[in-house]
Amino acid sequence: MPYPFNTIEAKWQMYWDNHHTFRTESHSTKPKMFILDMYPYPSGAGLHVGHPEGYTATDIVSRYKRMRGFHVLHPMGWDAFGLPAERYAMQTNIHPRSTTEQNIATFRRQIKMLGLSYDWEREVDTTDPGYYKWTQWIFLQIYNSWYDSRRQKARPIETLAEALAEHGSSVLPGEPPFTAAEWNAMSRKQQHDILAKHRLAYVAEIPVNWCEGLGTVLANEEVDEWVEKGYTVERRPMKQWMMRITAYAERLLLDAADLDWPSSTLEQQRNWIGRSEGAEIDFPLTGGGSMRVFTTRPDTIFGATYMVLAPEHPLVDQLTTPSQKGAVHEYREVARRKSERDRDVEQDKTGVATGGSVINPATGKEIPAWIADYVLMGYGTGAIMAVPGHDERDYAFARKYSLPIIEVVSGGDIHREAYTGDGKGINSANAEVSLNGLSTPEAKARINAWLVEKGYGKPVVQYKLRDWLFARQRYWGEPIPIVHLEDGTMKPLSEKELPLLLPDLKKFQPSGTTESPLALATEWVDVADAETGLRGRRETNTMPQWAGSCWYYLRFIDPRNPDMLCDPELERYWMPVDLYIGGSEHTVLHLMYARFWHKVLYDLGHVSTREPFMKLRHQGIILGEDGRKMSKSRGNVVNPDDVVAQYGADAMRLFEMFMGPLEEMKPWSTRGVEGVFRFLNRVWRLYMDEEGHLNPRLLSSDQPTPELDRAYHATVKKVGEDIEAMRFNTAIAQLMIFINEATKSDERPRSVLEPFVLLLAPFAPHLAEELWSALGHHHSLTYEPWPAFDAARIASDTVEVVLQVNGKVRSKLTVPLDASDDVLQREALADENVRRHVEGKTVVKTIVVKNKIVNLVVR
- Residue ranges in 132-191 that form contacts with RNA under rule CB under 7 A: none
Give the span between the Cα atoms of 22 and 63, in whole angstroms: 9
382 lies in the binding site for RNA (CB under 7 A): yes
x/- string (CB under 7 A) for RNA, residues 557-586? ---------------------------xx-
548 lies in the binding site for RNA (CB under 7 A): no
CA distances to 217, 472, 771 from 543, in Å: 12, 6, 50
Site for RNA in 1-60 (CB under 7 A): 1
Find all residues with CB under 8 Å of 44, minimum gap 6, and list them: 84, 88, 99, 103
Nearest to 134 by CA among 597, 484, 776, 613: 597
Interface residue with RNA among 238, 588, 694, 815 (CB under 7 A) is 588
Q: Which stretch binds RNA (CB under 7 A): 92-100, 375-383, 496-504, 574-582?
A: 375-383
The DSSP code for 21 is T
Long-range contacts for 524-529 (Cβ within 8 Å, ≥24 apart)?
527/483, 529/483, 529/485, 529/491
The DSSP code for 835 is H
Interface residue with RNA among 130, 274, 503, 568 (CB under 7 A) is 274
Interface residue with RNA among 14, 105, 165, 665 (CB under 7 A) is 665
Q: How far is the CB of 382 from RNA (least distance, A)?
A: 6
Dihedral sign of CA atoms 645, 648, 653, 658 in order? negative
Give the span between the Cα atoms of 370 and 309, in whole angstroms: 6
Nearest to 755 by CA among 5, 70, 67: 67
Q: Which is nearer to RNA, 700 or 798 (CB)?
A: 798
Interface residue with RNA among 666, 713, 748, 750 (CB under 7 A) is 666
Interface residue with RNA among 379, 399, 639, 745 (CB under 7 A) is 379
Q: How far is the CB of 763 from RNA (least distance, A)?
A: 12
Q: Could you give phi then psi for residue 47, rounded to 5 degrees?
A: -65, 140
Interface residue with RNA among 171, 219, 376, 637 (CB under 7 A) is 376
Q: How far is the CB of 600 from RNA (least distance, A)?
A: 23
Interface residue with RNA among 667, 710, 793, 835 (CB under 7 A) is 667
x/- string (CB under 7 A) for RNA, residues 796-825? ----x-x-x-xxxxxxx-------------
Interface residue with RNA among 241, 679, 763, 789 (CB under 7 A) is 679
Find all residues with CB under 8 Å of 350, minimum gap 6, and list them: 331, 372, 373
x/- string (CB under 7 A) for RNA, residues 641-660? -----------------xxx
Q: How far is the CB of 276 from RNA (least distance, A)?
A: 4
Site for RNA in 181-240 (CB under 7 A): 220-221
Interface residue with RNA among 40, 380, 477, 548 (CB under 7 A) is 380
Q: Could you give phi then psi for residue 267, rounded to 5 degrees?
A: -60, -45
Site for RNA in 733-792 (CB under 7 A): 733, 736-737, 740, 743-744
Nearest to 374 by CA among 406, 404, 412, 400: 400
305 beta partners:
none
Q: How far is the CB of 49 from RNA (least distance, A)?
A: 14
Site for RNA in 296-315 (CB under 7 A): 296-297, 310
Q: Are strands 482-485 and 535-538 parallel, antiparallel or unpaired?
A: antiparallel
424 in Cβ contact with 439 (< 8 Å): yes
Residue 536: other Cβ atoms inside 10 A = 20
Q: Which is nearer to RNA, 665 or 788 (CB)?
A: 665
Where are the strands (E) in 92-200, listed by range?
A: 124-125, 145-148, 153-156
Q: How far is the CB of 391 from RNA (least distance, A)?
A: 6
458 lies in the binding site for RNA (CB under 7 A): no
Give the span between the Cα atoms of 295 and 315, in whole angstroms: 18
Site for RNA in 68-87 (CB under 7 A): none
x/- string (CB under 7 A) for RNA, residues 722-741? -----x-xx-xx--xx--x-
Q: Which is nearer to RNA, 21 or 681 (CB)?
A: 681
